[in-house]
Structure 1
Amino acid sequence: MESRRVYPSCMTQHASQHPEFLAPDTVVVAGGRPDRTHDAPVNPPVVLSSTFVGQGEVYEGDRAYGRYANPSWDPFEETLGQLEGSELPALVFASGLAAVSAALSLVPSGGVVVMPRHSYQGSLALSQDLADRGALTVRPVDIADTEAVKAALEGADALWLESPTNPMLEIAEMGVLAAAAHDAGALVIADNTFSTPLGQRPMNSGVDVVVHSVTKYLAGHSDVVLGAVVTSDPALRTRLLSYRSLRGAIAGPFEVWLALRGLRTLALRIERSQATAMELARKLQEHPRVEAVRYPGLPGDPGHERAAAQMDGFGSIIAITVRGGAEAADAVVEALQLWTPATSLGGVESLIERRRRHANEPASVPEHLLRLSVGIENAADLWADLDRALQKVQD
């Protein structure tokens, strides 16, 4: 697929002097670098300070205190904002769920949120908790059913998009749904964790706010817990910044520095893991012990045509159902030697888990569904391990 070009609106001075547009795989490397002065560091430093020098009146934009801002956040926030197509920096949060919480705070008290029935578990749990306390009403929908989602938007205050969904990998018709939501007067929020801005840029489809679990692909090494929110609307960003500052949902400077270091290899990691995911998905759909495979890159997948039209790559997550039910699925996981049985996704290592082992996973997710997060290991080794485990269960 053809690489998009993005304007370096949030990059450091030396980069923004280039008149040409930069591709996203360049931005992840070049964004957020210090100015090119003699003896300057190539990488931005970690600033470990809880407060900042200030005299006289405190003005808007002053750092003042570590709960409001930190210089270590700036390079990451600027780069992610640019990658998502915003002229405003992103806002980094203490976790992906903290970012989700901030985005949901934009829904008015007692408002209605249309949300995919299959979504990030934390988003579902938090929205239900808010619903139980009367803070909002949730209308669950099959996000792949465009007409059903449009019907659910009547009187709604927000549409929550996740595409591909977790863990069912359904594809939303993002641009059509964003337009319908705006026609209904609803805010549009999208979780772009699975795809990353290298796979799709939801704001180009009319989305107002984009949420990320930075823990996953952006940081990419399973060693930090962070979240982020991006918007092009200054008023919305001000509200989100206020939410972060007042509730203390702030990230540690060293964790954000690690996330920026991880971001530098995002394009390479995704290129490798996506190619491997496609190879594994093709083989898995032919395996006698596999009942079904969901992967948007497969021509027979229900979401393939939409994904091909609106995404730059099909991602690195595969969902399979194993013949023999939950017991057989668990046995496959236990038999694996290279794949790591663990929750989360988006790291350099390949992870696998049976999603219904979590008590609050929606009942519509099959008991015998395994979610595979494909890493950057050798594809042949990953396949050999999967095949061996599946064959062992057969025996």
Structure 2
Amino acid sequence: MRKAALKPSMESPPMAHDRKQSDSRIMAMLHKRAASIEKGESLTPPIVNAAKYALPGAPDHPYPYGRFDNPGWGAVEDAIGALEEAETVCFPSGMAAVTAALMATLKPKSRLLLPSDGYYTVRVLMDEFIKQHDIETTEIPTAEMTGHAVEGYDLVWIETPSNPGLDVCDIAAIAERAHAAGALVIVDNTTATPLLQRPLDLGADLTVSSDTKALAGHSDVLFGHVSGRDETLMARIRNWRKLSGSTPGPAEAYLAYRGLMTLELRLARMCESAHELANLFYSHKAVESVRFPGLADDPSFKIASTQMSEPGFVIGLTFKDEETAERFITDCPAIFAATSFGGIQTSAERRARWGDDVAEGYVRLSVGCEPTAALVQAVSDTLDSL
């Protein structure tokens, strides 16, 4: 007999966003460009396709060459920076942002504490390239991060909620101990976005994000960013972009900016629907188990309720086997079968196909912006047919 459904509901989280402060950041983000333009200038940022700029005399202009800066980058950086309340540098993908953060903070023979269950490409990057610089890496599960010893490490990398397992760790507690031990802390905040979780406020030195996901939100652009409040660290991040050539295209910056403008509205629908779907999955006989930080008996609930304003829009569900999981994804008319998450359309994939350490029947579901009732009904009908 399955347990009765627990209504997914975050308690009033003491460390989560104050509503007025959150609204203030959103207003600042929406009006950042509008407040700085002159009469006759466009409200939308320009798409400046330029490798060369006029540069007579001393090369002391913000735009000396296309690899150094671009007006479109500045617009999206200002907007994201208003949400993060921190200096922001944009990149052509989330992994480009991750690489910049690692290269700016690690030195030869540094010791790194890394989640073993976070986004797998970060671990591949470490194994294939960064370890060659005599970087020593220790990998542990996200659920063990909060209490793990940090002494002797130079950098602690956190991904919370983790992707794809949705475990969480206590950012504030880890940052306090890490700083006392002389280590930096970087948080991959892709799953939560700066609207649902505030790593820098909780003590992180840098936050990174794949804005390809929810922040840009339309599944039409690769983008990423790094934000931080330490001028020295951010100068290294910006210099890495310039020297490595890891620069976003002007059109991509425009698309990321365009998507960012509706982030709050999209997240509101996505989180609302995620609550309803998590409750449905929890009580349905076709689902073996559910992971969602908003379920009161989920292992992530206690910590998530202290540092997130909402449990998010990603749900992990396990079916009895691979076949059932694939049928759920392909049979449901409201689900788009694809990798990645955070888009307008609800999407899902069976993560074991990528080699993640999850059950063969584990599905990562990214809840989209469809009308909630219609989405829940379509999913419910599909579950009933399995």
TM over 0.5: yes
Asked if 1:325 corresponds to 2:326, the answer is no
Provide the residue aligned with 2:30 in structure 1. 29
Letter in 2 for 1:379: T
Provide the residue aligned with 1:276 in structure 2. 273
Asked if 1:357 corresponds to 2:350, the answer is no
How far is 1:110 from its partner?
A: 2.4
How far is 1:141 from its partner?
A: 1.5
What TM-score do the two structures reach when normalised by structure 1?
Answer: 0.89
Provide the residue aligned with 2:5 in structure 1. none
What are the residue-to-residue correspondences of 1:83-232 with 2, within 5 Å?
Answer: 83-86=83-86, 88=87, 90-105=88-103, 106-130=105-129, 133-146=132-145, 148-149=147-148, 151=149, 153-232=150-229
How far is 1:4 from its partner?
A: 4.2
Give unmatched runs, 5+ long, in structure 2. 1-11
How far is 1:5 from its partner?
A: 4.6
Letter in 2 for 1:118: D
* C-alpha distance in 2 between matches for 1:329 and 1:206: 39
Provide the residue aligned with 2:72 in structure 1. 72
Deviations 1:187-211 (A, max 9, x none): 1101111111111110111100110
Letter in 2 for 1:111: S
How far is 1:308 from its partner?
A: 1.4
Moved more, 298-307 or 211-220: 298-307
Cα distance 1:36–1:110, how it changes in 2: closer, same or farther (>3 A)? closer
* C-alpha distance in 2 between matches for 1:131 and 1:248: 18
Provide the residue aligned with 1:18 in structure 2. none
How far is 1:231 from its partner?
A: 1.1
> 1:278 touches 1:297 (CA, 8 Å); kept in 2?
yes
Provide the residue aligned with 1:391 in structure 2. 384
Provide the residue aligned with 2:7 in structure 1. none
> 1:161 touches 1:190 (CA, 8 Å); kept in 2?
yes
> 1:28 touches 1:266 (CA, 8 Å); kept in 2?
no
Deviations 1:334-364 (A, max 9, x none): 22222001001111111100001113x2x3x
What TM-score do the two structures reach when normalised by structure 2?
Answer: 0.91
> 2:29 touches 2:82 (CA, 8 Å); kept in 1?
no
> 2:30 touches 2:79 (CA, 8 Å); kept in 1?
no
Deviations 1:39-82 (A, max 9, x none): 332222221211211122223x6310010100111111012122
> 1:111 touches 1:156 (CA, 8 Å); kept in 2?
yes
Deviations 1:123-178 (A, max 9, x none): 122122236535422211122225542x2x22111000111110111111110001
RMSD: 1.8
Provide the residue aligned with 1:346 in structure 2. 342
Asked if 1:311 corresponds to 2:315, the answer is no
> 1:32 touches 1:76 (CA, 8 Å); kept in 2?
no
Moved more, 244-253 or 106-115: 106-115
* C-alpha distance in 2 between matches for 1:48 and 1:194: 31
Higher relative contact order (CA closer than 8 Å, sequence separation 6+): 2
Q: Which runs of 4+ in 1 moved over 6 A?
A: none
> 1:158 touches 1:186 (CA, 8 Å); kept in 2?
yes
SS of alignment partner, residue 378 of structure 2:
helix
Deviations 1:306-332 (A, max 9, x none): 11111111110000111x222221222
Give unmatched runs, 5+ long, in structure 1. 7-20
> 1:28 touches 1:267 (CA, 8 Å); kept in 2?
no
